[in-house]
Amino acid sequence: MSKTIVVPIDGSECALEALDFAAELVRSEDDKIILLTVVGHKKVPKELQHYLEVEHVKGPPDWEYDQLIASGILDEGKQRLQEHNIHQFETLVERGEPAELIATAANQQAADMIVIGSRGLGNISGLVFGSVSGKVNHLAGCKVITVN
Ligand SMILES: Nc1ncnc2c1ncn2[C@@H]1O[C@H](COP(=O)(O)OP(=O)(O)O)[C@@H](O)[C@H]1O
Ligand SMILES: [Mg+2]
34 Cα to the center of ligand 2, angstroms: 19
Angle of the 63-83 helix axis to the 13-25 helix axis, nearest 10: 50
Mean pLDDT of 27-43: 88
What local confidence, expressed as pLDDT, does residue 58 receive?
63
The C-alpha atoms of residue 95 and residue 114 are separated, in whole angstroms, by 18
Pocket of ligand 1 (CB under 6 A): 8-10, 12, 14-15, 18, 36-38, 98, 116-117, 119-123, 130-133
What local confidence, expressed as pLDDT, does residue 71 receive?
92
Nearest ligand to the C-alpha atom of residue 106: 1
30 Cα to the center of ligand 1, angstroms: 27
Our CA dihedral for 132, 105, 77, 42, rounded to 10 degrees, sits at -60
The C-alpha atoms of residue 53 and residue 49 are separated, in whole angstroms, by 6
CB contact at 8 A, 14 and 117: yes
Q: Burial-class residue 62 by CB neighbours within 10 Å (0-12, 13-18, 19+).
A: middle
Q: Assign 61 a pLDDT band (cuts: 50, 70, 90).
A: low
Residue identifier of the C-alpha nearest atom 8 of ligand 1: 10
Go through the domains of the chain in sequence order and give each one's CATH number: 4-147 (3.40.50.620)
147 DSSP assignment? E
User: Which is more confidently placed, 24 or 129?
Assistant: 24
137 Cα to the center of ligand 2, angstroms: 14
CB contact at 8 A, 3 and 31: yes
130 Cα to the center of ligand 1, angstroms: 7
Nearest ligand to the C-alpha atom of residue 11: 1
The C-alpha atoms of residue 30 and residue 2 are separated, in whole angstroms, by 5
